[in-house]
Structure 1
Amino acid sequence: MTEPARWTAIPQPTAFEPAGGMWRPERARVIAASRGLRREAERLEPELRACGIAGAADVSDPVIRLRLSPLATRDRTDESFTIDVAEDIVVTAASAAGVFRATRQLLHNLRAQGAVPRGAVQSAPAVAERGLHLDAGRKHYPAEWIRAQLHAAADVGVNVFQWHFSENPGFRLESEAFPEIVSDDRIGRTEAADVVATARDLHIELIPSLDMPGHLQHVLTAHPELRLPEAPGLETDHALDITREDPVRFALVLIDDMIPVFPHSTRWNLGGDEFVDFDRIAEFPALATAAAERYGAQGTGFDLLTAFVNRVAAHLRERGFEARAWNDGLLRSTREHLDPDVVLTWWTNWNAGMRPVSDAVAAGHRLVNVNDAMFYYVLGENAGYRYPTAARIWEADWHPGLFPALWGPEGQSTVRQELVRPYPALLLGASFAVWSDRPDAQTPAEVAQGIRGPLRAMAERSWNAGSALSLEDFAALDVAIGEATPLEEERRHV
């Protein structure tokens, strides 16, 4: 007896009921059932041609019909979809983004096995966000390379791109207000607009990442008067002086200068991490003095940091942005309480002083899991990191609710941090992260090749809250679906 054809796509759908046989016409017609899906039809037609399926010659040729569900809400972030494959194919989704995700599934099957199995597919993501963070501050990545990675990420269901354009070694987006802070190797605003347009066209939310008050060495080299005062034996050349009004106002003006680059974005990562050596925060005289003056004897530098994050978050909110921040220095204050609307991008608990995930949940913070043990692709494997692999992700049985383990005073403990399924609404999703610590360790092409497998593993296991696939099955799928190649029609559209 012939084994039924498998649905060959990443991520795997929530459910597939095979009906027997394969859909593989010589010609097909794509019909958008509503105006809002015309772009998806326009995109799919040349993609089908690239898979060997020509446009329809007459009305008798098979049809791929794209439609919105009659029950669809106005929530454009709802990516759930169904696919019914018979003589014709009917794609029904709650949004244009859902239709886009569904058509990627069809293309994966065509690329992998030259046909689409007949049957019924249902699919909905377990978490709303599947992200890719790119440190383009330490290393210059050309705009065309970034756009290619957006295509590769969108092909497997990644729907968030966090663009980290400022770091200690560089500031790599054109600044109109402060041209003196910008690196020679940078992306101009016209090129940035192309990246923004590509992300929007691919239903990817673009999140600017401008880290402060730490990670600002390159900016502060041009403006040393804004640095935190020196402390004996401690580094401050990367740290903004949050004890004074002028440096804080500079930070806010810098944000305002960059906002026009991201006209469609609604979320912003302000950083907040690695501001100073947190284990020795009491040894910074400027912080200790300001904290005592503002909060009394119990005040600490963590209160000042939290106050700064809250102020930046309020500034962003006034401009229509949801604020995000890294977790390591937050929830550690005693007098200032972190704005509960700040989303925490949770990357680590490597230090015993860092607060556990349970504290964030108790305080009502929404979370994005950027598990550094699983998803930190650190160039040169700096700081003891190893390049992520699908094998390690499967070995850990990672899913979006599995956060980094807690560390104790003697090193990493076995204390597991996990939000179990079904996930609480506070868990927004997960993200992969490229960090360019040793920028010359890999070329952009090597980075693209290196992240492909583990990024796809994250996408599969994020969409499905784990995976029913074995590692071997996943690896075979990864090879079979190949890579998405942006077509000339897409470049012209953007």
Structure 2
Amino acid sequence: MTALHDTGRAHSPRAWLAIPQPTTAELSSGVWRPSTVRVTADDPMLAREAERLTRELAALGIPDGEGSVVCLRRDDRADESFEITVGEDIAVSAGTAAGAFRATRQLLHNLRAQGLVPHGRVCSAPVVAERGFHLDAARKYFPAPWIVDLLHALADVGVTTFQWHVSENEGFRIGSEAFPEIVSSAHVTRAEALVVADTAADLHIDLVPSLDMPGHLRHALAAHPDLRLPDAGGLPTDHALDITRAAAIDFAAALIDDVAALFPRSTRWHLGGDEFVDFARIEEYPALAAAAREQHGPRATGFDLLTAFVNAMSAHLRARGLAPRVWNDGMLRSETVALDPDLVLTWWTNWHVDMRPLAAAVDAGNPLVNFHDALLYYVLGEKAGYTYPTSARIWESEWHPGLFPALPDGTRQEIPMPYPARLLGASFSVWSDDASAQTPEEVADGVRRPLRAMAERAWNGISALSHDQFCEIDAAIGVATAPGPCAR
């Protein structure tokens, strides 16, 4: 990776001030700052990006006119990779609209940070395809306009995936046609959800609905108590779906179908699968133990029943064209039922000694996304022993997409670069455990720098920036200008 700071000062005219930093940069003397600009596209696939950039440059004081030219060119580059050549004119080469979009963010960052773009040539390609953001908008109500603004902030730094968590023990916060009785009073309407989905698609963000099951359903099951897991000697079950019964499984599939109708362009779906019951005491739930033995043989446990449920819901999702994913904590622990090997495991923790290690997932071949809870979980109110993540901790740990949470004894779990194809990427998360701890605006301010630290290191793996340089660039680029009425 080429060093991008000739003088070590982030505000040097020869610094490329953008997040994420490009993979390589060859900067020369001279700067680009025309009085007017004409943005062109040599392929209809890039026309939307040319129109978008024209408006964005005008908002920064460089209106459309017969001055310099920014030409968006389509070539055979893969996915989001791009090349930018800056002289009197600018040439952006990318193989996809998403790649052109990523490149134009780089230009805008430089203009916002220093009012110019250095002459030179930069090339970039991400080390992982997925850089995600998870929002728990179920425990806490986040208004749809705020979510739309969040999507713009995410896209500005190369986030590709928005995981929208809409159902929790404390609320169901998206409109439902099939089950209006479970919807919380404060919720995103179905019409608003369509606007959010349209915005995500326009910004090259894959919206991943997250509807946790068979646990985390206390709010929904309050209206359907007959579908709860039976009492287990005082162990809590009011949040758990009775996966021993066909009626409960049908209810789960119907919930999916109702929400999925809002997101026809989504390609992935998060099933949850975590914290269904107290996994350390799963043998103490008699209904699970009996059904597991009856359905899967004498060696089967509640984990087999959970795995079978997850596999069944995964098949249901695939029939709808949605690739399923689940949290890791309850997976790979069954005796007789094999977990679907194509199911994506979103690996958030190994806090308990009985949770399977990362090596088990690698051996099983399941695709992985790194949700490292110790570094990338922004838990409102700092509940459950969490502290708010910081860019400093992310840098000090030398985190990269292949560095996963440690085992309980401190053993490091890491997939080194170059990453295998099964490591899809990494994600930052907001969890609303204490919904009143921060306002939505405070959440947006609080996550900005650690999120950008994740974005920088998830694009590049090991960043060429020092932490001080990163912080200077973060402060310099500020936030994206609020989009005008035509930009959405």
Q: TM-score, normalised by structure 1?
A: 0.96
* CA contact 1:84–1:90 (8 Å) conserved in 2: yes
Q: Give CA deviations for 1:274-327 in whole Å, capped at 9, x if unaligned.
A: 000000000001011111212333110000000000000000011111010000
Large movers: runs of 4+ above 6 Å: 1-4
Cα distance in structure 2, aligned partners of 1:286 and 1:402? 38
Q: Is the 8 A contact 2:369 2:426 kept in 1?
A: yes
Aligned residues: 479
Match of 1:328 in 2: 329
Q: For residue 418 of structure 2, what is the aligned residue in structure 1?
A: 422
Q: Within 5 Å, which residues of 2 pair with 1:217-236? A: 217-236=218-237
Q: Which residue matches 1:280?
A: 281
The residue that corresponds to 1:315 in the other structure is 316
Give the Cα separation in 1 of the matches to 2:181 and 2:128: 41
2:390 aligns with 389
CA distance in 1, matches of 2:336, 2:157: 44
The answer to whether the 8 Å contact 2:155/2:205 transfers is yes
Q: Note the C-alpha offset of 1:493.
A: 4.6
Q: By how many angstroms is 1:19 displaced?
A: 1.8
Query: Helix, strand or coil for the counterpart of 2:155?
Result: helix
C-alpha separation in 2, matches of 1:284 and 1:54: 67
Three-state SS of the structure 1 residue aligned to 2:436 is: helix
Q: Does residue 404 of structure 2 align to residue 380 of structure 1?
A: no
Take 1:345 and 1:311, find their aligned partners in 2: how far apart are those partners? 18
Structure 1 equivalent of residue 486 of structure 2: 492
In 2, distance between residues paired with 1:319 and 1:295?
27
CA deviation after TM superposition for structure 1 residue 126, in Å: 0.5
1:65 aligns with 2:71: yes
Structural mapping, 1:227-306, within 5 Å: 227-306=228-307
Instruction: Report Cα offsets for 1:106-135 as digits up to 9, x if no partner.
Output: 000000000000000000000000000000
CA contact (8 A) 1:79 1:94 kept: yes
1:190 Cα deviation from its structure 2 partner: 0.7
AA matched with 1:43: R
Aligned residue in 1 for 2:157: 156
Supply the AA of the counterpart residue of 1:492: C
* Residue 400 of structure 1, CA deviation: 0.2
Q: Which consecutive unaligned segments of at least 5 residues does structure 2 have?
A: 1-5
- Paired position in structure 2 for 1:37: 46
For 1:21, the aligned partner's letter is G
Deviation at 1:486, TM superposition (A): 2.7
Q: CA deviation at 1:257?
A: 1.1
Q: Counterpart of 1:441? A: 437
TM-aligned CA deviation for residue 72 of structure 1: 4.3
Q: Tell me, yes or no, if the aligned pair for 2:52 and 2:487 is still in contact at 8 Å.
A: no
Q: Which string of whole-angstrom CA distances, capped at 9 and with x for unpartnered residues, describes residues 50-107 of structure 1?
A: 2111211x3xx210001111x246xxxx100000001100000110000000000000
1:82 counterpart SS class:
strand
The 2-side partners of 1:306 and 1:377 are apart by: 29
Gaps of 5+ in 1: 408-412
Identity %: 64
Q: In the aligned structure 2, how far is the partner of 1:388 from the partner of 1:375?
A: 6
Aligned to 1:360: 361
Render the CA deviation track for 1:421-443: whole Å, top value 9, x for unaligned: 00011100000000000000000
Residue 63 (structure 2) aligned to one of 54, 58, 78: 54
Q: Which amino acid aligns with 1:441?
A: A
Amino acid at match of 1:66: L
CA distance in 1, matches of 2:73, 2:13: 28
Asked if structure 1 preserves the Cα contact closer than 8 Å seen for 2:341 and 2:365, the reply is yes
CA distance in 1, matches of 2:146, 2:373: 24
Alpha-carbon contact 1:381-1:387 (below 8 Å) kept: yes
Supply the distance in 1 between the matched residues of 2:450 and 2:383 (Cα, whole angstroms).
Answer: 18
Query: How far has the Cα of 1:23 moved from its partner?
Result: 0.6
Equivalence map 1:14-163=2 (5 Å): 14-56=23-65, 58=66, 61-69=67-75, 71-72=76-77, 78-163=79-164
**Are the aligned partners of 2:32 and 2:118 in contact in 1 as well (CA < 8 Å)?**
yes
Residue in structure 2 matched with residue 410 of structure 1 by the alignment: none
Q: CA–CA distance in 1 between the matches of 2:487 and 2:189?
A: 20
How far apart, in 1, do the equivalents of 2:13 and 2:26 lie? 10
Q: TM-score, normalised by structure 2?
A: 0.97
RMSD: 1.1
CA distance in 2, matches of 1:99, 1:248: 43
Paired position in structure 1 for 2:3:
none
Q: 1:46 deviation in Å?
A: 1.6
Letter in 2 for 1:453: R
SS at match of 1:254: helix
Q: Does 2:175 correspond to 1:174?
A: yes
For 1:183, the equivalent position in structure 2 comes to 184
SS of 1:294's partner is helix
Secondary structure of residue in 2 paired with 1:441: coil
**Residues in 2 aligned to 1:292 and 1:46: alpha-carbon distance in whole angstroms:** 63
The 2-side partners of 1:4 and 1:174 are apart by: 50
Contact 2:369/2:425, CA 8 A, preserved across alignment: yes
Post-superposition Cα deviations, 1:432-464, rounded to whole Å, max 9, x if no partner, equal 000000000000000000000000000000000
Measured in 1, the distance between the counterparts of 2:68 and 2:92 equals 14
Give yes or no for the alignment of 1:432 onto 2:428: yes
Q: Tell me how far 1:259 sits from its aligned partner.
A: 1.2
Residue aligned with 1:377, SS: strand
1:147-184 CA distance string (max 9 Å, x none): 00000010001010000000000000111011001000
One-letter amino acid of the structure 1 residue matched with residue 144 of structure 2: A
Q: Distance in 2 between matches of 1:256 and 1:139?
A: 23
Shift of 1:485: 2.2
Listed one character per residue, the Cα deviations across residues 218-246 of structure 1 (whole Å, up to 9, x for unaligned) are: 00000000000011121000000001110
The 8 Å contact of residues 347 and 371 in structure 1, kept in 2 or not, is answered as yes
Secondary structure at the aligned position of 1:152 is classed as helix
